Amino acid sequence: MCIRDRFNIHRMIRFGFKRILPAVSLAKPFFAYPTMNFFNTAAIRSPFSMFSSKRLFASTGNAYIKELSKVSEWETYLSTVSQEKPIIVQFHASWCGPCKTLMPKLEERVKKEGGKLMMLTVNVDKCGAVAQEVGVKAIPHVALLHKGKIVDDFTGVQNMEIIIKFFSQAMKLAEK
């Protein structure tokens, strides 16, 4: 019997069972849970990810959709690639459900544009410094990058109307 159990028994005797039951918890102590900060590399992973060999983000079959794997690549995209064409940057995490919902919608729109735009996906668990530099507060976060600057952005899963408006703005920049 641990000290906590003895303390709870003492409280039950002193105050009665009705007052103690809400305070009794079978959960793990607070330090047993990993942090929920998505900039942390030790963030929570899906328990089924070890059984899946299928990639959840950034399909490799398309030349216009790239995944940022190193923080050093960000400067390359910022200084050279964004000068040529607009880049749609999506900040996501493998454990984020809304990110998994938004990703196929964005990929579909980028494929429809046929090379006029480029999409860059940034995993905030791997490249947290990039997310902090851009000022990402929540995920999914999507930004439009052109000529080294962020032109427009939105956070969260949006309806198709807002996504189409976002892409039309990107296409106007691509035509210039």
Strand-by-strand arrangement of the 87-92 sheet: 65-68, 118-123, 87-92, 141-146, 149-155
Strands 118-123, 149-155: pairing is: unpaired
Name the strand (E) or helix (H) holding 123.
Answer: strand 118-123
Q: Is 96 a catalytic residue?
A: yes
How close are the terminal C-alpha atoms of the chain, in Å?
73
Q: Is 99 a catalytic residue?
A: yes
Choosing from 58, 93, 99, 120, the catalytic residue is 99
- C-alpha 47/C-alpha 176 separation (Å) is 46
Record the tokens describing residue 3, joined without a space: 């000290």
Choosing from 68, 88, 96, 163, the catalytic residue is 96
Strands 87-92, 141-146: pairing is: antiparallel
Hunting for tokens 């459900």 — which residue is that? Answer: 97
Active site residues: 96, 99
